[in-house]
Structure 1
Amino acid sequence: MNRLHGRPAQRLSTGQPQLLDSLYRTAAEPEHWEQVLHGLVDALDARSARLLVMDRRAASVQTGVVINHCAQYYQQYVDHFVNLCPWRPELAQKPPGQLYSTYLDFSCRQPDFLKSRFFNEWARPQGIHHGMLGTVYQDADCTVQLLIQRSDGPGHFTREETRAMNTLVPHLQHVCALRRLYENNQLRSGAIVRSAEDLASPFLLLDAAQKVVYASPRAEALIRASSVMHLQQDRLRLCTSASQQHFQAACAEAAKVPEGPADTSPPLRLHCPEQGDIWLRVMPVQGDDTPLLFTPRRAFVAVQLQQADQRPRIAAASLQHLFDLTPTEADIAVRLANGDTVQRIAEATRTRDSTVRTHLKHLFLKTGTHSQADLVRCVLTSPACRRSL
């Protein structure tokens, strides 16, 4: 933020558009908090600032963004001096959602502050004599406080300056709420990805244009070690044109599933001299019905990678117990999950395709699924499935 001229309140007003631009970027890019704090410090003739994320009672600091404090003094504040600050007990009684001048709005007058241990052992060595502070956000889990400090030269924060700063507080509240929502979604998405990685095989997530939008860590490692496939410009490339055509056709078909029949093609087998056979199973990813305002709904396709010697072990007896299946139904479910088609199952069991499909209907009913892909996912994510290590 460029240095502005005029009184601090005027500078805040003049620089507010640029400041708000940086502020709202912090919702998705928290590294911009430092730029915001530097902008406030420059506009207010301040020496330092701290944004503290604290526990709900504001008794301890969990994380924070700090500018113009050396690491040693900041750690001393977190470890000890946070609760020696003479303004903090009274701040807990003041309404949140606004900032206060330590000189004008607290019962601890300046002469008493200058005699305090907090000032003499922590603030004075840093040249801190005045402050503006307040609770800018609070929810069931945390309290966020903003503290801006001045040296003795510019004097205390005035009513005009605190009023100017308080016009920014609603924006600070919105940004904190957005960041909390963003981080909660990040945590949930990360947990989902880690669970999928732990409970299933390596996988890729492709969009309808067959661009790889996510590759699990084990999938990336498997592809790097393979001579029969590689990632190129965010696309999975297979070693032969026939395999590539088969794969692309399967992906295109799977991307249509939300609007059409839920059948999927049989898995694609790649022979890799270094790793043995690798199976690629292409499956549609059914989205939920969450209303979207700005983002068009998109189709996604999951590609499960499975080495022949690491295919999951599926206990047919456990499937029988879990879903009240007959031995024949459990055997068909295991064969489907292992990549067999209806035709191959019929040949292996010396029955007709129509008989296998009749068993499939019973399987759908008992497992609450509606397609072969759904049934396979149900089996592979059930307690009957154990990944080979």
Structure 2
Amino acid sequence: MDRFMLEKRFIEIVERCYASLEDPCCLEEAHDLIGQSIGADAGDIVTEASFSNSIETHGSFGFDPDFLKNYDSEFLGKNPWAENLALLSRNRFHTDAEDSPDFARSAYFNEWVRPQGFHHSVGAILNEDAGQVTWVGYVRNAGRTPFEAEIAFLGRLLPHLRRTVSLSNRISCLHGEWASLSAVLSALKLPVLVVDGAQKVVFLNEAAERFLRRSRQVGTTRSGVLTATGAAGERLRVALDRAARILDRADMPPDRTILVEDDREAVAATVIPLCGWQTATVPAGRAAVVLCRFDPETMPDLSAFAARHGLTETETELARHIACGKGVADFAQQKGIAASTVRWHLKNLEAKAGVSRVEQLVAAIHASILPVANGATEAVIHRLGGDPSLS
């Protein structure tokens, strides 16, 4: 093959490698093209997992099918050629000239390689992680010359092959994590949905579907963007935008619960950043949103919130009153005290809760009584969402 054709083939192989991230069959096509380009009689790309005693073949040609069956039963996890590769530099392909002296005396060589007529080999480790190794190897028949000039061509391809395998493994992990996350969220009775960086809903469980069908305060646009009514809509947009840019727990914003209310009911939307879901291969979830509806006539239990912040009995009653969407004047009339006295209690209450505005106080109160306040659901969502601090 002349230089021009070889360069054209190189580009084609690289394109097939990265195309395999969407279509795994393309890696086998790239592997076949490599074999043709270097004049190999056989070759394969495989991943062997010692912990499960299993093998995954990404591409193979030229081997006797009966010998392949024998390999799985006799040499899986005990391939001295692959073991030798693991001891050598990972930055280049190695020829049979670098095989250990014992290789020619091994059962693998004498019972599997030589009976198929092979002698000359070239190979490299592409990835080794968590008890599994991925390697690529090509062989020539005994009557042919060793691989020599082809090493430079293979060396140029090696970074692309290694990168392809690494990305493929990561994508596979993300698919598994997303499947686990979806299963957990689907099983929750809480309304939970996941939005991407553009604030579009990419997943919602059945409880969230029912919630959105009935809710007047929270919904989605025609393009699927999560919205809320009134001024809360802008606060929700800001919270989701911040969540989309969070990379770890250290950047977590203090105010994550948005209260959306009218004269009939109040809805609390708690935004939980999903660190690590920045990929186009699985739904690009950047935040989970937990929804909870509150009836203004219902008096929530604030005992835990009161104990945490050291509230007095009056401050606790005021906090409960505000959490139900009622105002200062109503509380003053109910208690038979001046509105100025209620505002004084309110300032003390805000100071103890560490906030400076009523809407922040309401958000803090609702966050404390939401089902995610104990951290269990939130921790599960963070862990499956790739939060490094919980790994």
TM-score range for the pair, normalised by the shorter chain length: 0.5 to 0.7
Q: Does 1:383 find its partner at 2:377?
A: no
CA 1:97–1:379: 2 relative to 1, 3 Å: farther
Q: Does 1:132 find its partner at 2:122?
A: yes
Q: Does 1:36 find its partner at 2:30?
A: yes
Q: Which residue of the other structure, out of 193, 198, 203, is the alignment partner of 1:215? A: 203
Report what 2:229 is aligned to: 247
Q: Does 1:204 find its partner at 2:198?
A: no
Deviations 1:292-326 (A, max 9, x none): 9xxxxxxx8875444789xxx97644445555555
Report what 1:295 is aligned to: none
CA 1:256–1:320: 2 relative to 1, 3 Å: closer
Q: Does 1:266 find its partner at 2:254?
A: no
> What is the DSSP-based 3-state SS (H/G/I as helix, E as strand, rest coil) of the residue aligned with 2:76?
helix
Deviations 1:364-387 (A, max 9, x none): 36xxx9654355335422239999
- Tell me the distance in 2 between the aligned counterparts of 1:147 and 1:119: 15
Deviations 1:183-207 (A, max 9, x none): 6666677777766677782233457
Deviations 1:266-295 (A, max 9, x none): 34699xxxxxx9x7545667799x9x9xxx
- Tell me the distance in 1 between the aligned counterparts of 2:231 and 2:374: 32
- Tell me the distance in 2 between the aligned counterparts of 1:108 and 1:169: 27
Kept in 2: contact 1:50–1:64 (CA 8 A): yes
Measured after TM superposition, the shift of residue 165 of structure 1 is 0.9
- 1:1-389 maps to which residues of 2 (within 5 A)? 6=1, 13-26=7-20, 32-46=26-40, 47-52=42-47, 54=49, 61=54, 63=56, 65-68=58-61, 77-78=71-72, 80-102=74-96, 105-107=99-101, 116-119=110-113, 124=116, 131-138=121-128, 141-142=130-131, 144-150=133-139, 152=141, 155=144, 157-178=146-167, 201-206=190-195, 212-219=200-207, 221-222=209-210, 233-235=222-224, 247=229, 250-256=232-238, 264-267=258-261, 280-282=267-269, 304-306=290-292, 316-320=302-306, 324-326=310-312, 340-343=324-327, 347=331, 350=334, 354=343, 355-356=345-346, 358-364=348-354, 372-380=362-370, 381-383=372-374
Letter in 2 for 1:362: K
What TM-score results when the alignment is normalised by the length of structure 2? 0.60
- Tell me the distance in 2 between the aligned counterparts of 1:364 and 1:193: 35
> What is the DSSP-based 3-state SS (H/G/I as helix, E as strand, rest coil) of the residue aligned with 2:373?
coil
Measured after TM superposition, the shift of residue 158 of structure 1 is 0.8
Would you say how many aligned residue pairs link Structure 1 and Structure 2?
A: 342
> What is the DSSP-based 3-state SS (H/G/I as helix, E as strand, rest coil) of the residue aligned with 2:229?
helix
Letter in 2 for 1:383: N
CA 1:33–1:143: 2 relative to 1, 3 Å: same
CA 1:81–1:314: 2 relative to 1, 3 Å: farther
Measured after TM superposition, the shift of residue 341 of structure 1 is 2.1
Residue segments in structure 2 that go unaligned for 5+ positions in a row: 243-253, 279-285, 379-391
CA 1:34–1:320: 2 relative to 1, 3 Å: farther
CA 1:385–1:53: 2 relative to 1, 3 Å: closer
Residue segments in structure 1 that go unaligned for 5+ positions in a row: 1-5, 238-243, 271-276, 293-299
Measured after TM superposition, the shift of residue 48 of structure 1 is 4.1
> What is the DSSP-based 3-state SS (H/G/I as helix, E as strand, rest coil) of the residue aligned with 2:13?
helix
> What is the DSSP-based 3-state SS (H/G/I as helix, E as strand, rest coil) of the residue aligned with 1:38?
helix
Kept in 1: contact 2:127–2:135 (CA 8 A): no
- Tell me the distance in 2 between the aligned counterparts of 1:147 and 1:205: 39
- Tell me the distance in 2 between the aligned counterparts of 1:335 and 1:385: 27
Report what 1:297 is aligned to: none
What TM-score results when the alignment is normalised by the length of structure 1? 0.60
CA 1:175–1:105: 2 relative to 1, 3 Å: same
- Tell me the distance in 1 between the aligned counterparts of 2:186 and 2:317: 26
Q: CA RMSD in A?
A: 5.6
- Tell me the distance in 1 between the aligned counterparts of 2:59 and 2:139: 14
> What is the DSSP-based 3-state SS (H/G/I as helix, E as strand, rest coil) of the residue aligned with 1:204?
strand
Kept in 2: contact 1:136–1:146 (CA 8 A): yes
- Tell me the distance in 1 between the aligned counterparts of 2:66 and 2:220: 46
Deviations 1:79-135 (A, max 9, x none): 542244342443343222322234774536779779722347xx74xx866543221
Kept in 1: contact 2:49–2:77 (CA 8 A): no
- Tell me the distance in 2 between the aligned counterparts of 1:18 and 1:166: 16
